[in-house]
Structure 1
Amino acid sequence: MRRIVLAISLFGLAMMVQAEEVHYVIKVTPTLVYIDAGQQAGAQKGDVYLLLREHGEHFAQVAEVEIVRVDSAFSIGEITYVKLGETIQVLQRAFSERDWQIMAEQAHAELSEREYQSESEQEKGVFGKRSILFMIGGEWGRSTDLRWNAQNSLLMEARSGNGLGFGVRLGQVLQNRWRLNFTYRTSAVGEVDDLAIEFDMHRLLSEHNRSGLYIGVGMGLHQLSIDAPGTSDDSANKLGFNLTAGLQIPGRWTFVAETGLQRIVKWGPSVDMSHVRTYIGLGRAF
């Protein structure tokens, strides 16, 4: 069959047509069909018309005719194709192949748009722009190993050590390539505890709903505390700054692996909690 028949078959012969856009079969002979579409309706010799029958609220193709004669009010077409099992009858619809092709293309475009919107809605459902992430990782090179003077309870030295940290991060995607984060992070391994509230901005190197790398910068407030002997200060609030780079793998569950440099204002002359950290996280987008 011709390409128009293929187009119709792709739509299941179920494309709706408005009554005023088609014409009718007014007479049938063994080889000819008379259609009430003449010169006034724009019919021309050589035009191809599709003959359709009503099928519920839709239409199914019956036959195809080629116009061989055009009058002012009607046309005569030669039957060139009849679908197997179908019979041409009076009052069946006649529709120009050219106009049908235009409608088929419009319907295909609308269908594609609906599928795209549906995919976008599904994608939005799985890959929302808000997220929550639960994180665990190591913090390397912090001053967590403290040495005290037994005579006067003064801090003598703070040696470098490693610690384990936990965090919860809330994220909000902005413009698909930027993500604003609020992170609550704590580490309690060693002699110095660190409870931090951080705000970060990530630059996503791919769309937020696709796997890819990201880089970020942020700042936060760190509440540092120790179990100090005697009358030594046992807590302090310090400002921190961080640089981050990571990999995200989104899905129904999102996996994140990141590393970064955390700088924290020193606490006195000895306690420097600045460190390199590596974290992994698992969370959901919504």
Structure 2
Amino acid sequence: MSRFTGKKAVVTGGTHGMGLAIVKALLAEGAEVVLTGRNERTLEAARSELKGQAAHVVRSDAASMADIAALAEFAGEALGRVDHLFVNHGIAEFAELAEVTEASWDRHFDVNTKGVFFTVQALAPLIEDHGSIVFTTVANDVVFPGLSAYSASKEAMRALAHVLAAELLPRRIRVNSVAPGFIKTPTMGVPGLTEEQRREFERQGDETTPLKRNGTVEEVAAAALFLAGEATFTTNVELAVDGGFAQGLVASH
């Protein structure tokens, strides 16, 4: 029997990249999954790719309180309960100090922080005691110019994870995070990059990551599923999936 046979999961931001890899891994291990996205193209692609499997693809904007409430209602009707919640959604926009606007700042915090908190709040009543929550944060110990709003919102998410781990202790719900470094995805985590910029970002990852390569979405998914299913004596931990990027390692040549 697979680790997640009979388990019910919700994956926000699950229609592409790391989120979709988590969804696929859960389905392969026997789980039933509700996954969300807000881009119609990726929603339709996910519906097509996952057709015939135990997957429910839902359009949901994490910045919308109405959408979050509707997601909780749908998950309750479709799944009945939730064993594992993967809070994976997020946005990233490059802008240096003089270029950051109030609207851009608010977008990051509406999705990456406010949306994260209220998603957990709405779904927490459905989560089984002894269940789990896994956040996707970021390998944020190394600072990149141009990502102030993104980095600040992700640090706030990390702080939320710590507090929620403490608040959910009475229900024995474990709260952990995966912190990806450079991961090879179609957008490299930053939608709107040109193909040249995306290749340059990937090249930087190969050069600066101690293991000398970008990670894969499957490697992030494996870590997320480990925290959700096997790490039964682990809570309030952030697991770096970054090839040593944020650990101060120096690669040998």
**Bucket of the pairwise TM-score, normalised by the shorter protein:** under 0.3
Which structure is higher in strand share? 1
**Normalized per residue, which structure has more helix?**
2
User: Whose radius of gyration is greater, 1 or 2?
Assistant: 1
- Larger relative contact order (CA 8 Å, sep ≥ 6): 2
TM-score (norm 1): 0.19
